[in-house]
């Protein structure tokens, strides 16, 4: 039996250093990253005033609050709360619809396959980005200055902040549309508007409808919080009851919000399936 030649270990090591031992910089990268992340975390805890004593105190307080919340009880203000809930749903529905109606034409301007010129598209996109960068609550404060306290300010706040989000999402959906149908329309002599109406819209409308329904769901949540700054709806009641420490009413209001959101979730997922059919599953 022939003996296998002993491998030239030293030579191999010299030729393939990466196989035998990764360089220190590579091996240390992950631990260093984690250490850095942890360092910032600890700095954050100290800087933001976390301390075990405060934590324990707060948890004890929180325990008390939870005890006081049980059982949920609306007292005598149930009709008021139901009206507020209706207001919240109305805010979400109107705000989402307004935003979608205004965002559709603008999103065409922000889509690459409709407006090929970068000079024109760039400002539209940055404009939409800036609108999205400002939170709904801030828009609510601005609109309260304009139309006064009340749910209408909430509708406009949701409409504006969703306008930014929809503009971006719709333009992405338009960019993802298939080119061939548009070309078909052009080949048969259609104008630019015909291309959009008959080539693009049938492709993108189901996608857009799905997104609008999804936003309606999430806006039901947003609409509950804009009341905190005075823009109507159930959030107003919630913030008030928290301020006066009526914990049983607070927990009842939270329960109402949970039930309403679950109901809207259910309805809109049914509708989504009805509109976009099986494709939603994929």
Cα 37 off chain centre by? 25
Name residues contacting another protein, limited to 21-80 (CB under 8 A): 37, 40-41, 43-45, 47-50, 54-55, 57-59, 61-62, 65
104 binds another protein (CB under 8 A): no
Contact with another protein (CB under 8 A): which of 150, 181, 206, 248? 150
- Tokens coding 109: 């301007």
**Contact range with another protein by CB under 8 A, out of 9-17, 21-29, 85-93, 167-175:** 85-93
* Rounded CA separation 51/59 (Å): 12
Shorter beta-carbon distance to another protein: residue 65 or 115: 65
In angstroms, how far apart are the furthest CA atoms of the chain?
98
130 binds another protein (CB under 8 A): yes
List of residues 6+ apart from 94 with CB closer than 8 A = 155, 159
Contact with another protein (CB under 8 A): which of 77, 97, 113, 269? 97
Binding footprint of another protein, residue count (CB under 8 A): 64
**Contact range with another protein by CB under 8 A, out of 24-32, 179-187, 195-203, 235-243:** 235-243
Burial label, 125 (beta-carbon count in 10 A; 0-12, 13-18, 19+)? middle
Contact with another protein (CB under 8 A): which of 250, 252, 256, 268? 250
* Rounded CA separation 147/183 (Å): 46
Closest residue by Cα to residue 157 from 173, 137, 180, 133: 137
Shorter beta-carbon distance to another protein: residue 147 or 192: 147
């Amino acid at each position: 039996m022939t003996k296998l030649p002993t491998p030239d270990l030293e030579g191999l090591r010299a030729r393939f250093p990466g196989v035998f031992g990764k360089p220190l910089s590579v091996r240390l990268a992950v631990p260093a990253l984690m250490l850095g992340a942890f360092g910032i975390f600890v700095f954050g805890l100290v800087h933001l005033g976390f301390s075990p004593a405060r934590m324990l105190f707060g948890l004890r307080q929180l325990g008390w609050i939870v005890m006081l919340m049980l059982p949920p009880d609306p007292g005598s203000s149930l009709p008021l709360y139901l009206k507020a809930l209706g207001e919240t749903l109305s805010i979400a529905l109107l705000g989402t619809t307004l935003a979608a109606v205004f965002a559709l034409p603008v999103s065409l301007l922000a889509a690459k396959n409709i407006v090929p010129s970068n000079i024109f598209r760039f400002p539209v996109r940055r404009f939409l980005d800036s609108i999205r960068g400002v939170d709904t609550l801030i828009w609510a404060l601005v609109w309260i200055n304009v139309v006064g306290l009340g749910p209408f300010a909430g509708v406009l706040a949701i409409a504006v902040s969703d306008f930014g989000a929809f503009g971006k999402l719709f333009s992405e959906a338009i960019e993802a549309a298939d080119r061939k149908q548009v070309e078909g329309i052009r080949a048969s002599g259609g104008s630019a508007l015909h291309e959009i109406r008959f080539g693009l819209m049938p492709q993108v409308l189901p996608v857009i409808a799905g997104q609008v329904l999804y936003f309606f769901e999430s806006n039901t949540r947003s609409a509950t919080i804009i009341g905190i700054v005075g823009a109507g709806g159930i959030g107003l009641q919630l913030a008030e009851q928290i301020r006066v420490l009526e914990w049983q009413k607070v927990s009842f209001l939270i329960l109402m919000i949970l039930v309403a959101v679950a109901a809207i979730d259910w309805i809109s997922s049914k509708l989504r399936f009805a509109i976009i059919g099986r494709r939603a599953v994929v």
